[in-house]
Structure 1
Amino acid sequence: MCTSHDQLGAAELVRLARDSDQVAWSELVRRFAPMLWRVAAAYRLDAADAKDVCQSTWCALAAHLPRLRHPDRLAGWLVTTARREAVRLHRREPWPGPAPETADPRPEHRPESRALRSARDRLLWRAFAGLPDRCQRLLGLLAHAPELSYAQLAGAVGLKAGSVGPARGRCLHELRRHLAGLGLELP
């Protein structure tokens, strides 16, 4: 069978990569590498650390490929793995803030603004953690991999392609509800 690898779905590419098909591996990397870079960039890592996150994620996939239970959800697996790698790296080497003499004078960069933003972010993550797993995966993919099509999102989260939009709306409504319960109202 002579099928162009760029027309295959993630699950089929995973199956071929398991069978040592290097073209399938190349297609997986071509297709998902930009997404991994965006995940690393979301953690404000420098270029070398972002490369480490991406490389570690691909190495983890190579190690887990034979045991990957849901190859049709590869995008979600890659995003989750890259996020964990970025968090691990970020905890090891926290992002340095600006030196006091070079601190940004804009109001949104003042310590009090950063403290309020930090408190708001903690509430947001607390509300996010209270969402069902499927909502966390869907909203996480939408935030960290906006280039994914609804069909790809559906495959990664285990939904039908036509259900992604309504599920997204329900998940955002639930997130707003959790935030309101924590005292944070959104416009």
Structure 2
Amino acid sequence: MYLVTELSPLLAAEAAAEAAAAGVDAADLEQAVWVRLLEQSPAEPGRWVRSAVRAEARRARRRARRELPYAVETFESHTGEPNTVGPYAVEPYADPDTRPERAVLAAERRRAVRAAVRRTPGRCPWLLAALLSPADPTYREIAGELGMSQGSLGPVRSRCLGCLRRMLTAEVAAGGPWGKER
């Protein structure tokens, strides 16, 4: 308790003096120094406070130069008028499909589909892998690769896709192992 009562006025004054130049709130600077004080417990706390405030202010200035704020999305309110979240009215991604969370979800879906494809029976894994291939082979190439007639490729593909659909539907309905939510 002694440290708090003795150092509070000094810390508040030092933080107020350094905060403007660092571009941070004085209270945030104070809090950072209190945390460092608890971590280090210096021998001469008065002298240490002055140097710690300056060090935290330098750290805040460096951080401000490196960090860029996220752009804030514009959205429509229930009244149909545009609203913003935060101080900026910026649309960070022109195309909603380029948002990072959409890319992660799409990658997760691709992984789930490819894992289910590997578990399908018979020739299905090879056939479905060929159909999902980025090389986009023709039916003639797929039939030649699998040693099947081109005419039987359609019905086999239909059965394989039906099997895959049932597998994925069962997995989505279950939500996880033994039907438990994840």
Superposition TM-score, scaled by structure 1 size: 0.37
- Kindly indicate whether structure 1 or structure 2 has the higher relative contact order, using CA contacts under 8 Å at least 6 residues apart: 1
Superposition TM-score, scaled by structure 2 size: 0.38
Q: Which structure has more helix as a fraction of its residues?
A: 1
